[in-house]
A and B are shown apart, each in its own frame.
Chain A
Amino acid sequence: MEIFLQQIINGLVQGSVYALVALGYTMVYGILGLINFAHGEVVMVGAMLVLSALTAMLGLGVPPLLALPVSLLLAMAGCMLLGYGIERVAYRPLRHAPRLAPLITAIGVSIVLQNLAMMIWGREYHAFPQLINNQPHHIGGAIINDIQIIIVIMAVMIMTGLMAVVHRTRLGRAMRAVAENQHAAQLMGVDINRVISITFMLGSALAAIAGLMVSANYGLAHYYMGFMLGLKAFTAAVLGGIGNLRGAMLGGLLLGLIESLGAGYIGDLTGGFLGSQYQDVFAFFVLIAVLVLRPSGLLGERLAERA
């Protein structure tokens, strides 16, 4: 029972991060039909930027509780600029090219970003400074610490805010309109390039926050950390139904839970033959299963559109 509860907690924390990153994939896919495989690297850049800013500010004697939010804001700004630049330079010229071209470009951008990050921040793991006395709390035999609680609360707040923006504001309406019919949106006076840029920037801001969460939770950041995280979040987006915001959130949480429960019980289930290092297998097993059994994902409904 303790294992179960503990794995649920771990899954929720990890799932919150997946959900934030999956939202970035799904927003871009919804609006452009493009899988932005460089998105995982934006998370990594976000983590690195937070770390650099934080280290610099702590070195100057700025109090940690001021340095952290300022670093996060700087990283978000940096990632938004990066997201804007990626779309502008790598995807916009290919807007009308066959779909394979931007997909390959996305992988190219991903590799470029990884290598740039390696040149800037090096190959080594960077330790995330301990800012708060990360207090563990015991619930029914399981442990959840302060950072994990903050991660889950922040993720819920951010996702609620994003849903409000998308469903209640003029900008959100324009985003949904562009996602559905670019020509008709133009006929309403929507500057679709602007909306697409904003979508990339919003997704990248979420990626920066996710980057902070991951590196704070594990206490580490590394130039390669975005790769696996990106693939998992992409899996989460597909699981929920890519292009669907609620789907990305649901898919993220579910994938986090599946992974951690799987990792927690795989040893028992296989009589010790397979261990928790097989955790990653679950995500990709889920990806394959969804693609085979329900390619539109859990919430990817096909709405009847009458002409």
Chain B
Amino acid sequence: MSRANTPLLEVRELKVAYGGIHAVNGITIDIAPGELVALIGSNGAGKTTTLKTLAGLLVPGSGQIRFDGQNLHKVAAHQRVSMGIALVPEGRGVFARLSVAENLLMGAYSRSDQDEIATDLARMYALFPRLVERKDQLAGTLSGGEQQMLAMARALMSRPRLLMLDEPSMGLAPLMVKKIFETIREVAAQGMSILLVEQNARLALQVAGRGYVMEGGAITLSGAASELLGSDAVRCAYLGG
């Protein structure tokens, strides 16, 4: 049982060098269970690097990541999935040559509870009815928005305790963005902890409870999402005046 007061995710002084530069330079982030936290910032601020490091795809230079009290230092990416960390990567990363249904089953790869997997599959189809019509289609034939839905559903199939989303609105039509963010709200309302990376800062702060602003690999501002939305600095830099 996780203790209610301790954060689900604790990131301390995390540094990640990526191609010779310090993409992430000593950041500290906390996420409590059930919290929706937004990480905003401009292009190249280090947001994606942060998420990839949390997922285990990149190795940090120094600093600590603790998940549910456990140090992730020696935990490989594929093992973090069964601990409850899921990342929907930038660009979605759906398997284009696998069917929609197979993509969803890949999401449940780390699980062996067949009955529960079937239940979750039905739940995902209920959450994203569009995917039902397309379940036998190759994922590569879906529209961008449908692929984003699939990527989110696939991540949820692992029954994560922390869902990380990297730029879910990127490249999508406004209507689709709205639909995706409605779903994020819905999932958050069910008690899922979410770390949301977005360039669309306004959108992200509107759904989030708290937010971090990242600039040049460092956290420059943090606080309640409503405060950040009202802050002049954030308004100027990320909300277009």
Contact = CB atoms under 8 A, between A and B. Distances in A.
Partners in one complex: yes
A180 interface: yes
A184 B78 contact: no
Interface in A160-207: 170, 173-174, 176-177, 180-181, 183-192
B144 to A, nearest CB: 6
Interface residues of B, number: 37
Interface stretch (A51-59, A97-105, A299-307): A299-307
Contacts of A307: 91-92, 144, 171
Contact of A184 (B56, B89, B110, B158): B89
Interface in B136-168: 138, 140-144, 147, 154-155, 158
Interface residues of A, number: 22
A173 B57 contact: no
B109 to A, nearest CB: 5
Interface in B165-179: 171
Given A183-B57, A189-B158, A303 B171 contact: no
Contacts of A303: 96-97, 138, 140
Interface string B77-89: 1110110001101
Given A180-B96, A180-B98, A306-B147, A188 B109 contact: yes
Contacts of A186: 56-57, 77-78
Nearest to B106: A188
Contacts of B86: 187
B211 interface: no
Given A305-B96, A306-B147, A188 B81 contact: yes
B55 interface: yes
Contacts of A191: 76, 78
11 contacts: A170-B109, A186-B57, A187-B87, A188-B78, A189-B78, A189-B110, A303-B96, A306-B142, A306-B144, A307-B91, A307-B144
Interface of A: 170, 173-174, 176-177, 180-181, 183-192, 303-307
